[in-house]
Amino acid sequence: MHAQYQTATEQLAEAQQALGDSTVFIRSVTELADKREVFASEDIFSRGKIKLVNRGVKLTGQFYERLVAHKLLKPIEQSIEIAGAPESSRIIALVLDEARKIPSLQLFGDGLIEQLGGLLSGVKIPEQLAVKISIMQEERPRLFTHSLLAAVISMVLGIRGKLAPRELQKLVLSSLLHDIGELYIDPKLFDKQRCLSIDERQHVYAHPITGFLVLRECSTLPRGVAEAVLQHHERLDGSGYPYRLSAENISRISRYLAVAEVTSSLIEKHGADKRIGMKFRMNIKKYDPEAVTTIFRLLENCEIDVAQDFDESRLAARLGQLGRLFTEWDALLASCSPAEATEIRSIARRLDGLRMMVLEPGYDQHHLNDLMDIAGEMDPDVCIELTALQDELTWHFGALCRGVERDQRAGVHIPEGIRSGFDAWLSQVREFVGE
């Protein structure tokens, strides 16, 4: 066994605990109450029928302790009213504003924004979810922008994929709500600077299930939305989570949502440039090919902009190190007895996957260090592609280290005969990824 993720049952337990506890979400509500007017729209009771807040009382941050000292009879969002919480029409206007900020959307023609507006006018966001979106907007602005951008991109994918209007509306709702489960996770865990422990990472991985559990309770939400949210980190080759579903079991809406939300994250990280195309080319078996083609077309005419402080020699060195990690792994594998090779086959499979990520866009894993020479003097196109390749492989080698660590904690060990060779290789990987 070599697991990056917990089992689906463990992730479900994790999600149920986050929801049952709800302290993170209640903190967001009470923090918001210090900035905006939040009222109790009805008496708030604990499960033990103790009245905690009277109807009509204006909440403040000071209510936090009282509310989390008890398990609440109802989820808090059902008992509050937020003054000026955006209604459906306001949220839709925000999505359209976001669409106007993406220059590459113009490639699809001037009428696109109007077309989006027309489709979105039929979308109704249930009230209790509008409260959550409002909390997201105030307390998790980055998550809010990410969700809006994902909604815009998924609409473009849906229109290109000729989805029926009803399906398109489900797609946009799923996109807006896809990370709603994150509202139940400590925001510190999303700090980009923070290096997550294995346990913290598991909290984060549970968010599709948490989101699904929240949305399942909302009876007015169209069928298929909660399921799409549950599946948004599933990948067509079965490498996703929480259920490692394979292509035929992932809904079409989810496939589009997956491509849209990854694109949204990459645009937030790099701006709309060709690195995004590279990321998809390296992971071509994971994503819906039709949706990926649309993304390629979106980015085709993007300006290439290599940063002023771009360090060519560092990139060459990193690629050289990557090449050596592959070569030395092959040597280690060649030294294994058949029994030893069987015991480490899950890691070997993972390395094969990484190798494919290099081969798919047309590179060779053993000659990565030669690439800069081939690229010549700062060919911006190639530099951007190689930087993306390097970034992506760094992330995956980091994930591999964490997977090995998790296995070791679970008592799965590397066979004695190759342990020292394996440890030496792994410490090179750790050094490479900076862990």
User: Nearest approach, Cβ of 349 to Fe ion (angstroms)?
Assistant: 25
CB atoms within 10 A of CB 161: 18
Cβ neighbours for 210, distance < 8 A, ≥ 6 positions apart: 15, 18, 19, 180, 181, 182, 184, 185
User: Nearest approach, Cβ of 203 to Fe ion (angstroms)?
Assistant: 13
Using the minimum distance from each CB to Fe ion, give the nearer residue, 261 or 407: 261
Residues within the interface to Fe ion (CB under 5 A): 179, 261
CA–CA gap between residue 302 and residue 21 (Å, rounded) = 45
CB 380 within 8 A of CB 273: no
Using the minimum distance from each CB to Fe ion, give the nearer residue, 99 or 348: 99
Using the minimum distance from each CB to Fe ion, give the nearer residue, 179 or 234: 179
Q: What's the Cα-to-Cα distance from 374 to each of 279, 322, 364, rounded to whole Å? A: 21, 17, 12
Using the minimum distance from each CB to Fe ion, give the nearer residue, 232 or 350: 232
* DSSP 8-state code for residue 229: H
User: 39 has which bridge partners?
Assistant: 58, 81
User: Nearest approach, Cβ of 353 to Fe ion (angstroms)?
Assistant: 21
CA–CA gap between residue 244 and residue 237 (Å, rounded) = 8
User: Nearest approach, Cβ of 27 to Fe ion (angstroms)?
Assistant: 21
User: Nearest approach, Cβ of 179 to Fe ion (angstroms)?
Assistant: 4
SS3 label, residue 117: helix
CA–CA gap between residue 50 and residue 359 (Å, rounded) = 63
Task: Copy the structure tokens of residue 327.
Answer: 């070569």
Cβ neighbours for 248, distance < 8 A, ≥ 6 positions apart: none
Using the minimum distance from each CB to Fe ion, give the nearer residue, 179 or 273: 179
CB 34 within 8 A of CB 61: yes
Query: If you count DSSP H runs as helices and E runs as strands, how many of each does the chain have, helices first?
Result: 20, 4
Find the helix packing angle between 275-282 and 252-270, rounded to 10°: 140
CB 179 within 8 A of CB 212: no
Using the minimum distance from each CB to Fe ion, give the nearer residue, 146 or 318: 146
User: Nearest approach, Cβ of 257 to Fe ion (angstroms)?
Assistant: 9
Chain mean position to CA 39: 33
User: Nearest approach, Cβ of 248 to Fe ion (angstroms)?
Assistant: 22
User: Nearest approach, Cβ of 57 to Fe ion (angstroms)?
Assistant: 35
* DSSP 8-state code for residue 378: -
Using the minimum distance from each CB to Fe ion, give the nearer residue, 40 or 253: 253
Query: By beta-carbon distance, which residue lies closest to Fe ion?
Result: 261
Using the minimum distance from each CB to Fe ion, give the nearer residue, 139 or 179: 179
Q: What's the Cα-to-Cα distance from 92 to each of 122, 133, 134, 306, rounded to whole Å? A: 10, 12, 13, 35
- The backbone torsions φ and ψ at residue 162, rounded to the nearest 5 degrees and listed phi first, read 55, 45
Using the minimum distance from each CB to Fe ion, give the nearer residue, 179 or 392: 179
Using the minimum distance from each CB to Fe ion, give the nearer residue, 98 or 179: 179
Q: Which of 282, 270, 249, 297 is nearest to 153 (CA)?
A: 297
In the chain, what is the straight-line distance between the N-terminal and C-terminal CA atoms, in Å? Answer: 22
Using the minimum distance from each CB to Fe ion, give the nearer residue, 261 or 288: 261
User: Nearest approach, Cβ of 170 to Fe ion (angstroms)?
Assistant: 17
User: Nearest approach, Cβ of 54 to Fe ion (angstroms)?
Assistant: 37
User: Nearest approach, Cβ of 229 to Fe ion (angstroms)?
Assistant: 9
Q: Which region, left, alpha or beta, applies to residue 162 given φ > 0 means left and ψ of -120 to 50 means alpha?
A: left
